[in-house]
Amino acid sequence: MSDPVLLAQLLESFFLQRLNAQRNASPATVASYRDALRLLILFACDRSGRKPCQLHVSDMDRDIVLLFLNHLERERGNSVQTRNARLTAIRSFFHHVAANDPASIGVAQRVLAIPVKRSDVSVTNYLTRSEVTALVKAPDPHTSLGRRDRALILFLARTGARISEALDVDAIDLRLERPGRQVLLHGKGRKQRIVPLSDDLATNLIELLRERGIGRHDPLPLFVDAHARRLTRFGAIHVVKRAAAIAASTCPELSRKQISPHVLRHSLAMTLLQSGVDLLTIQAWLGHAQVATTHRYAEADVEMMRAGLDKAGIFAATGARFKPKDAVLRLLERI
């Protein structure tokens, strides 16, 4: 490819045609892919000394992409999961390049051959019921800010919503009348699901809407900042961490755990599992595309595993210890 303008043309057609028109990608996906490609372009500019409008597709070949992925981990401190998410966006763009610019097929194929990086699967972090209760009670109920914070934390803890799903909720998405209290969540990939609302959460939400003076059928955001603008992801994370710092004074266990909005999602899943709810129901509740994702909660619950051993009688008796008869084997046994 010799005309550097084609890179801009490919980027424009990628977002307008491939993502929006062909795949109907969600705004979150578009934003994620945009950020990944922006970082790659800026990195390629630093390496080549050219401006973005002067770049060729060849300026973002396999070697540059690999250097960029290493840069994400070593210099920007990104996790392997974030690195792989950036690579997914880059791969999607180069699929588009291969289909629309024959001269760049070789470059595209080499980039598409870059494998995802395997990562360690960490143990699922979650809170006990008493820890969740302490976190919910932490915000000051005598202030407007405290009541909003309590409602947000309770919403995350009772619905298991992702933080993006919680912040996207409008008043019109709520059904607060008995029976059938529920909320419509807008999940990943434009998928929607309905989850039930507990009575304590519904009561908090009714009071929150009444305090703000908005109706239940208004298309206005449920959780807002001090300027009545939709609460941002950063703001919500700050709310949860601030509540955790306060709650740690009465619940010291919280100070030893990493607290985030997503931990509340894990905590609800564990509570449901320990209460006997089946994995398929939990999968539908959390909006997991595959039950294998939900299954990790069963793997994380050591107490359920231990109870299973007790039921099976595995801890009931221990067999005789193996005693080697051969002198060489006895020697090795003593080492």
Structure token pair of residue 64: 């540059």
In degrees and rounded to multiples of 5, residue 289 shows phi and psi of -70, -30
Integer-rounded Cα radius of gyration of the chain: 26
Note whether 46 and 94 are within 8 A (CB). no
- Estimate the crossing angle of helix 199-212 against helix 144-159, to 10 degrees: 140
> Which residues are part of the catalytic machinery?
162, 188, 262, 265
CB atoms within 10 A of CB 100: 16
- CA–CA gap between residue 43 and residue 59 (Å, rounded): 10
Ramachandran assignment for 118, one of left (phi > 0), alpha (psi -120 to 50 degrees), beta (any other): beta
Distance of CA 140 to the CA centre of its chain: 28
Structure token pair of residue 46: 């630093």
- CA–CA gap between residue 140 and residue 25 (Å, rounded): 40
Burial of 120 (0-12, 13-18, 19+ CB in 10 A): exposed
Structure token pair of residue 212: 């703000």
Structure token pair of residue 54: 């002067």
| Dihedral sign from CA coordinates of 285, 169, 166, 23 | positive
CB atoms within 10 A of CB 208: 21
Structure token pair of residue 328: 């060489």
Note whether 37 and 57 are within 8 A (CB). no
DSSP string, 257-292: S---HHHHHHHHHHHHHHTT--HHHHHHHHT-SSHH
| Dihedral sign from CA coordinates of 262, 264, 267, 272 | negative
